[in-house]
Amino acid sequence: PGNFVTLPWLSAQNQHTSQGRKAGNTASCGLETWSFFAVYDGHDGSQVAKYCCEHLFDHITNNQGFTGSSGAPSVENVKNGIRTGFLEIDEHMRVMSEKKPRADRSGSTAVGVLISPQHTYFINCGDSRGPLCRNREIHFFTQDHRASNPGSAVIQCVNGSPAVPRALGDLDYKCIHGKAPTEQLVSPEPEVPDMERSEEDDQLIILACDGTWDVMGNKELCDFVRSRLEVTGDLKKVCHEVVDTCLYKGSRDNMRVILICFPNAPKVSPRAVKKEAELDKYLECIPDVVHVMHTFASEHIPSLPPAGELASKWNVIEAVYDRLNTYKNDDTNSTSTDDMW
């Protein structure tokens, strides 16, 4: 679909999948030009997220619901195949866990997209999220699955266990006899909305787990990413800025970001680059950190990135403070304790 980059942060329980052209059975299904991206936010362990990262795509594309008749699958084939793939991999992990009584009892949310030349299939199971920015506006975003949603079972979060009504794994919440997998306290069934692609207007998709969305909304994050793409073509750097800004805004939950840019995504603008340089120079003129804390937070600073605001420039402020802090090297330059006795 264009360029993409992934950036993990904070937790070994998180995983991601980014697959483009894939060998083997996908060629016979007409999937040579399809792409699959997903973020898995693990909790109470890492094994479910890791296993899904390595095997979910195959479970989706190999089941009969997806393949259907010969040739490229229909829209309904794809949507049915995605749902079936989730149910199959969840059942497979349950069977494996029964063979190992001390097996990992973790779970994982999942948010992803399967992109064909004509359609984008959004996949969501849990409280991660994926918005699509089209023609500078939020055109679509997945709905978070939270215990607070109407009709959801209330599941307390204890020792890292889930407070989400949909997730893969979490087998301790899927043991009610006589109930189908989708009727358990935690369901592995994803929502799979689809839409036709627009080559002229589609700009970018952001897949991220809940630590990002705790401090930034859909439009805020997309506006911030678009502004960063106007000053750098380095997608990895943009993802780093997203994570850093969310940290400075107070997020303390897991964060993993996949940024997918379509051909119509914002390009580097000389005007934006100049304004960015002027902003950095302005911030570098701070006399001391007290001035930053008491003055910058209340005064109008031109050209700050939308949504990120001053938080997105805290790395510049920190660098200046470190330079001005004349005592920072005292410990390394002082006499050693051995010489003091």
Other C-beta atoms within 10 Å of 334: how many?
10
DSSP secondary structure code for residue 102 in this structure: T
Distance between CA atoms of residues 37 and 46, nearest Å: 19
Ordered domains of the chain (ranges, CATH): 7-209 (3.60.40.10), 270-324 (1.10.10.430)
Asked if 265 and 238 count as a contact pair (C-beta separation under 8 A), the reply is: no
d(CA 261, CA 96) in angstroms, rounded, equals 38
Neighbours of 52 (CB within 10 A): 27
Answer yes or no: are the C-beta atoms of 315 and 240 closer than 8 Å.
Answer: no
One digit per residue, pLDDT tens: the chain, 341 residues?
555 555 444 444 455 555 543 333 444 456 888 999 999 988 888 889 999 999 999 999 988 888 765 667 889 999 999 999 999 999 999 988 888 777 778 889 999 999 999 999 999 999 899 999 999 999 999 988 876 555 544 455 434 444 678 999 988 898 889 899 999 989 999 999 999 999 999 999 999 988 899 999 999 999 999 999 999 999 999 999 999 888 888 888 788 899 999 999 999 999 999 999 988 887 777 655 556 555 555 566 666 777 666 666 666 666 666 665 554 445 444 443 333 22
Say if residues 22 and 31 touch (Cβ distance below 8 Å).
yes
**CB-based contact 35:20 (threshold 8 Å):** yes
Structure tokens at 24: 């083997």
The neighbour count for residue 220, using CB atoms within 10 Å, is 17
Output the pLDDT for position 287: 59
| H or E stretch at 92 | helix 75-99
- Which pTM was predicted? 0.79
Q: In this predicted model, what pLDDT tens digit does every residue of 27-46 receive, in sequence order? A: 445 688 899 999 998 888 88
pLDDT tens-digit map of 138-151: 999 998 887 655 55
CA dihedral 100, 187, 126, 91 (to 10 degrees): 40
Residue 193: the pLDDT is 95
